[in-house]
Amino acid sequence: MKRALPSFLHARENSVDRRMRPRPNTRVNLESLMSNDSQSSSSRSSSPSHRSSSPIPPESGHQELAKDNETVKVCLRLRPHLRNNPYKAAFRIHENSLLARNVDDNSTERQYTFSEIFDDTVSQAEVYDRCIKPAMRNISGERGATFLTYGTSGSGKTYTLLGNHANPGIVPRAIEQVFMENANCISPHPGLKVDKTSVSFLDDDSVCRELKKVESMKKMLQYHDAGHSRMKSIIRKEHDFQTSKDPDLRVFIWVSFVEIYNENVFDLLGQDSIFGKRKPMKILSNEGNAYIKDLSCVFAGSSEDAYNILQFGLQSATYGSTDVNSNSSRSHSIFFMTVVSYSLATQLINYSVYKFCDLAGSERLKKTGNFGDRLKEAQKINTSLMVLGRCLETVHKNQKSKKLAEIVPVRDSKLTMLIQSALLGKEKLSMIVNLYPTEEYYDENLNVLNFSSIAKQIVLQRKPTQRRDRTTRYSFFLAQATSSPSAKIDWNQLMVENESLKQELAYESNVYREQLADKALEIQQLKREIFDQELQLRNELTDDFESYCAQREATFQTRLKQAREAAVLPYKLQITNLNAKIEHLKNVITDMEYEEDEYEKKLKAYQEELQKYREKEKRTRRLSL
């Protein structure tokens, strides 16, 4: 056998061990073998034939293997059909299988098997109980889970994930489940936080900053209503979440919200996101775990805080209108909910990250009629969904074949980089496939069903993560104290002292509350006195200012009168001179008018004499003739 070269990219075949020796196909129970060896060594003289090993039966080994390996949970949900044309001609449900056949041609009937199938009569609560609730249990060692909603545009993915006030979706129900199951353990203050991929303790200044961040988001929330209280009552009626009783456990819940728009990751909880000044973020990896650099992680002390943070992020999400859907999601949105648990008794820290992915719908240009920016968005959406399908197909091919494993192309898309832990089998993966069962979208629905059929065949081989033990001096002394024999004797005494201290603390807190109430009354009385004094002082200042203004007004009136008289005096002299000239001119005009009359009389006399002379001359001429 030729020795194979070691490779970090291609894994070794399962049939060959690290020394290139063939591995046996049968599994051997080592405990039974060791017990048989010890029995045979003790009774070797009497019965040396007891050294035979006892292999595990094939059936029990197969059950144990199936217990460790889980397939991806793929559920199908059908959207209610609004038209009169029924969809049963193209799609038919048979138990957990969907039978698809195109009525226009004589094609063969195709069968697709799912974990669960929900028709249009199934409620949101039943979908959550059967698909999401089992994976939301906070088990120590579990890394979390990833939930995907996949389907064509307008098939009801966002409604399944978010819902409305009357029918809450997956995310509000998951928030209520986490907070109700850990109601006695949730800390109101952020003491622990996941930074990148490690957990760190927060100091007092950091705690104040985190609490102020939540309050600022509540103030900036545009549509703040009482929808959460209504949804909370509905969820509690429809579900029965059991509250855990562990007094030594402390739980801290953190929330993040991002969207992948045109293959760029944007933070929906950033303070600048609401003003439209968004910057693309980088995705980094640490020991195979992907995280987003400088991502906003907000502490949620209650379910109301988590819901308000969700609504704040949805204000900045990208939506658009197409021919298929008037309010279509133009990006992939991922809602992260990180649950950090800290045990006071064992000093162990665990954290689980739950990802809720609302994938944008796959689109066809001839159906959506996109152009311009919408066309670019559709191309990026379809590309990322194709990469997701290639990753699932590669994982399935690697599990099915015995050859060298191919590299899963998780780095070809931002979406697959963020959910690579689920794709590589490190955490649970559940998918809800939304289908709009109409003949108009038959081809698009077939692509969705083919995609989901590949995901249904993938086997997840998860390895439980080890919890980190914080080895400090305190934990060492605590371990020594709890392991000593006197610890059990002193336990009752410590409990009694603890109860007495609690009573003293309660009494002192009541005294401090009464003192605080008295101080509050004194403060109110002092505020009233200060207000009265301020009002009196303002009235006095107003009166003084009014009298001063009146005095200044009288002075200005006097000065204005004097200025007017001084300004008018020279003009009066000029007017007097002008009036004298006018009188003189009037006399001259009168004399001239008198002279004019005299001249007119003389002119008239001259004219009469001239007329007489002309008549006389005419007479003389006649006489001469």
DSSP 108: P
328 carries a ligand binding annotation:
no
Residue holding tokens 């009014």? Answer: 546
Kind of pairing between the strands at 249-261 and 298-299: antiparallel
User: Closest by alpha carbon to 270, among 234, 211, 312, 308?
Assistant: 312
Residue holding tokens 């041609």? Answer: 105
Distances (CA, A) of 316 to 269, 277, 550: 8, 11, 59
Q: Side chain identity at 416, as an amino acid letter? A: T
Contact 294, 222 (CB under 8 A): no
157 carries a ligand binding annotation:
yes
Distances (CA, A) of 382 to 216, 510, 529, 573: 37, 62, 69, 98
Cα angle: 378, vertex 113, 435; to 5 degrees: 35
What is d(CA 202, CA 220) in angstroms, rounded to the nearest whole number? 25
152 carries a ligand binding annotation:
yes
User: Closest by alpha carbon to 260, among 344, 385, 175?
Assistant: 385
What is d(CA 531, CA 528) in angstroms, rounded to the nearest whole number? 5
State both tokens at 462.
Answer: 């998860």
What is d(CA 67, CA 392) in angstroms, rounded to the nearest whole number? 22
Contact 431, 357 (CB under 8 A): no
463 carries a ligand binding annotation:
no
What is d(CA 388, CA 396) in angstroms, rounded to the nearest whole number? 12
141 carries a ligand binding annotation:
no
156 carries a ligand binding annotation:
yes
- E strands, 223-267, are 249-261, 264-267
158 carries a ligand binding annotation:
yes
State both tokens at 542.
Answer: 């107003």
What is d(CA 454, CA 15) in angstroms, rounded to the nearest whole number? 25
- E strands, 183-262, are 192-195, 198-201, 249-261
320 carries a ligand binding annotation:
no
What is d(CA 299, CA 323) in angstroms, rounded to the nearest whole number? 39
In this structure, the number of other CB atoms found within 10 A of the CB of residue 32 comes to 13
What is d(CA 360, CA 161) in angstroms, rounded to the nearest whole number? 12
3-state secondary structure 269-293: CCCCHHHCCCCCECEEEECCEEEEC
Distances (CA, A) of 444 to 22, 327, 365, 434, 441: 47, 19, 12, 12, 5
Binding site residues, as ranges? Answer: 151-158
- Binding residues for ATP, by number, are 151-158
